[in-house]
Amino acid sequence: MEMTGESTIETKKILQEVSDERARQDKKWGEQNHPDGTGDIDQQEQADYARAECDLAAKGGRLTFAHILEEEFWEALAEADKGKLRTELLQVAAVSVAWIEKLDRDAKKESERGSKEG
């Protein structure tokens, strides 16, 4: 796939699903205003560990979406600054969407393989 830096149809479709899920959450739980609970030293250490693991996996040619999402997740939890927390949470969401896109590509390939064999 050519990467143009613009949202693809696939990304937009998944973002609509995210929006639908948000609506379901609001319906079920109402507006949520919990404390952030981020930025303590243990969370910062976890973020350092996750970054190192992600780096090692990338250098070793065994990088997975689990490594990447774990790194982004812990980077978010490590942030005490609200602006930076927001940036990190957006990255968690974006990596999640990228992972869903990959699952959808896998499913598409699988169904194309199935229809050729069937």
Task: Using CB under 5 A, list all residues that contact Mg ion.
Answer: 72, 75, 88, 91
Comparison of 23 and 66: residue with beta carbon closer to Mg ion? 66
Comparison of 14 and 73: residue with beta carbon closer to Mg ion? 73
In whole angstroms, how close is the CB of 91 to Mg ion at the nearest point? 4
In whole angstroms, how close is the CB of 75 to Mg ion at the nearest point? 4
Comparison of 46 and 91: residue with beta carbon closer to Mg ion? 91
Burial class of 62 by CB neighbour count within 10 A (0 to 12, 13 to 18, 19+):
exposed
Residue whose structure tokens are 């379901």: 24
Answer left, alpha or beta for residue 5, where phi above 0 means left and psi between -120 and 50 means alpha.
Answer: left
